[in-house]
Structure 1
Amino acid sequence: MAEQNPIGATVRRARAQSGRTLRDLAAGIGVSVGTMSAIENGKVALTIDRLHEIARYLDVPASELLAPQPDQPPAEPPAGATGPAGATGGAWRTFAELDLDPALRAAVQVFTDLGYHGATMRLVAHAADSSVAGIYHYHRSKQQLLATLMTRTMEDIEWRVAAADAEGGSPAERFALMVEAIALCHTVRRDPAFITATETRSLEEPARSAVAEARRRIQRRLDRAAIAAAADGSFAAPDPRNTARVVATMCMALPYWFSSEGPASSAEVARDYAAHALAMMQVQPR
């Protein structure tokens, strides 16, 4: 699989950092959402004039958009700044619709119902109420649809976990908040999270390694908080690192059974999972 245009990826990263949606940026520079999606996915080349329009709208130097940083984790909203959902303070608990174009939204539906290998571009086009040629205009393959969807999903999870980590005042609190954030992502974003958890083996390189590394970064945050909480006497679990990995796996299984029509809301389930995680860590009274 050919690598994505690095400038397009950097534009998407800068947009996410600014808290704007794809639709916001498209409207801000006077292009269609489809054109903006094509720019971010490397399907449309950027002119110098348009690059400067994007930079002005996002309030970043144009040179920053020309300096891609593919190995960095997704940008997080600055402390106290407006997050992607338009909230301040605790923005990681607020979920707007995931920023996906019609083809990607249709792919979520088809991949969830049939799995990646059972899906076809024709089925995605039908679900998107589009022609097959229309889907191929913005996404060159079914593999690119999967890679883009999983990348966006992991970016969304990762910034929320990082924000929850930053909000905690102690290692134990940081750990509990991160578990809550992961559980929220796997219930509110149930279908994209399910696809991301079950279809990694279907990804080709370099997307597979990028998604795997994003998971490892999240796990390392949990591990550090758990080990620090054990060191300060807050957790008594004999192996906090491995227990943190059990907790993460427990959260990733949520899309298998959670239903928005069930008796408990996403927020209630997330708080319950944070409490279960603390119990597994044998949290000590202070």
Structure 2
Amino acid sequence: MFSMTELGGGVGGAVRALRQRRGITLRELAADLGVSPGTMSAIENGKVAVTVERLQQLAAVLHVGVAELVAPPFEPVLARPESVDAGADWAVFDRLELDPVLAAAVEVFAETGYHGATMRVVAAAADLSVAGIYRYHRSKQRLLVALADAQLSDLGWRVEAAAAQAPDPAQAFAAMVRALVLCQISRRELAFIVETELRSLQEPDRSRIAALRHGVQRRFVEVADEAVRAGLFTTAAPAAGAEAVVSLCRAVPFRFDGAALPDGPALAIEYAALASAMMGGSVQLS
């Protein structure tokens, strides 16, 4: 059993980090636990004691083991914003801030595949002991889940920011295509891992991550429908067209696997123009 001292403010930080990685709002997590948003905020900020029972509830809702909350991993990979900043520069790709273990996992998984990798090999690539790596990530499966969350979080806010900054639905669709292609090129190894290893995910994360991926596709369909209603796209099948566009964009890491990378922005514009033509639009791109 854990004492109240052991369940201190560090638990709150771990809860907040995991909640953000899962794309869950504070209000949603509070509702799942049956507490008020104020109480949930106090838990995350370490202002109230966390009982063992509450810790178990939190672990169940966040789909992690109790140990991951008591001895949390590194800081979150990439916090998904609660709301999209209308001025966010979605086309700028700085280095993704992954912890050393996850950065090593990207390298190892991309080279050997998920099933060919071992925690020992990842530990060596991260210059850590095997015991050290298990302190932060309890299994190879959790590494894969964290990488999928990182990729989808990065992609999700960029697609939303691209749409928010466009003057009309047709331009928004084209900007979203550019954002998706840039993500697939700029984070090619990470995108390649996520696209090829989805089948390796275990439940409940497999369904959750599949739903997040489908959510990106659904957003493209929604914007395509808006463009058709506005008379900016002439396609008779906006949903099918949008789904085909997303599939083409997601295939970018495979198109250039082992080859020299093209100019990302130029390729993104090329795909956006192709997507616009597929949807019966005439978006001017530069």
| Superposition TM-score, scaled by structure 1 size | 0.72
Aligned-pair CA distance for 1:248: 0.4
Residues of 2 paired with 1:285 and 1:114: CA distance? 41
Assess if the C-alpha contact under 8 Å between 1:260 and 1:266 holds in 2.
Answer: no
Q: What is residue 106 of structure 1 aligned with on the other side?
A: 104
Q: What is residue 215 of structure 2 aligned with on the other side?
A: 217
**Worse-superposed segment, 104-113 or 5-14:** 5-14
The 5 A counterparts of 1:27-106 are 51=46, 74-75=80-81, 78-80=84-86, 89-106=87-104
Aligned-pair CA distance for 1:262: 3.5
Q: Runs of 5+ in structure 1 lacking a partner?
A: 18-46, 53-65, 81-88
Residues of 1 paired with 2:117 and 2:188: CA distance? 19
Question: For the pair shown, which has the larger CA radius of gyration, 1 or 2?
Answer: 2
Assess if the C-alpha contact under 8 Å between 1:16 and 1:75 holds in 2.
Answer: no
1:176 aligns to what SS in structure 2? helix
Assess if the C-alpha contact under 8 Å between 1:180 and 1:274 holds in 2.
Answer: yes
Q: What is residue 56 of structure 1 aligned with on the other side?
A: none
2:46 aligns to what SS in structure 1? helix
Residues of 1 paired with 2:44 and 2:80: CA distance? 26
Aligned-pair CA distance for 1:11: 3.1
Cα deviation per residue 1:255-274 (whole Å; 9 max; x = unaligned)? 11337984731111111111
The 5 A counterparts of 1:249-264 are 249-258=247-256, 262=260, 264=262
Aligned CA-pair RMSD: 3.2
The 5 A counterparts of 1:47-196 are 51=46, 74-75=80-81, 78-80=84-86, 89-196=87-194
1:93 aligns to what SS in structure 2? coil
Assess if the C-alpha contact under 8 Å between 1:103 and 1:124 holds in 2.
Answer: yes
Residues of 2 paired with 1:205 and 1:6: CA distance? 25
Q: What is residue 232 of structure 1 aligned with on the other side?
A: 230
Residues 16, 75 of structure 1: CA spacing in aligned structure 2 closer, same or farther, 3 A cutoff? farther
Assess if the C-alpha contact under 8 Å between 1:235 and 1:281 holds in 2.
Answer: yes
Assess if the C-alpha contact under 8 Å between 1:219 and 1:248 holds in 2.
Answer: yes
Aligned-pair CA distance for 1:233: 1.6
Assess if the C-alpha contact under 8 Å between 2:174 and 2:283 holds in 1.
Answer: no
Percent of pairs identical after alignment?
A: 43
Residues 285, 190 of structure 1: CA spacing in aligned structure 2 closer, same or farther, 3 A cutoff? closer
Residues of 2 paired with 1:197 and 1:15: CA distance? 19
Cα deviation per residue 1:180-199 (whole Å; 9 max; x = unaligned)? 10111100000111111111
Residues 174, 109 of structure 1: CA spacing in aligned structure 2 closer, same or farther, 3 A cutoff? same
Assess if the C-alpha contact under 8 Å between 1:76 and 1:159 holds in 2.
Answer: no
Residues of 1 paired with 2:88 and 2:84: CA distance? 12
Residues 212, 234 of structure 1: CA spacing in aligned structure 2 closer, same or farther, 3 A cutoff? same
Residues of 2 paired with 1:153 and 1:263: CA distance? 19
Q: What is residue 27 of structure 2 aligned with on the other side?
A: none
Q: What is residue 196 of structure 2 aligned with on the other side?
A: 198
Q: What is residue 41 of structure 1 aligned with on the other side?
A: none
Aligned-pair CA distance for 1:103: 0.7
Cα deviation per residue 1:90-119 (whole Å; 9 max; x = unaligned)? 511111211211110110011111111111
Tell me how many residue pairs correspond in the alignment. 230
Q: What is residue 57 of structure 1 aligned with on the other side?
A: none
The runs of 4+ residues in structure 1 deviating greater than 2 Å are 5-17, 47-52, 68-71, 73-80, 257-264
One-letter code aligned to 1:162:
E
| Superposition TM-score, scaled by structure 2 size | 0.72
Q: What is residue 246 of structure 2 aligned with on the other side?
A: 248
Q: What is residue 16 of structure 2 aligned with on the other side?
A: 10
Residues of 1 paired with 2:129 and 2:261: CA distance? 39
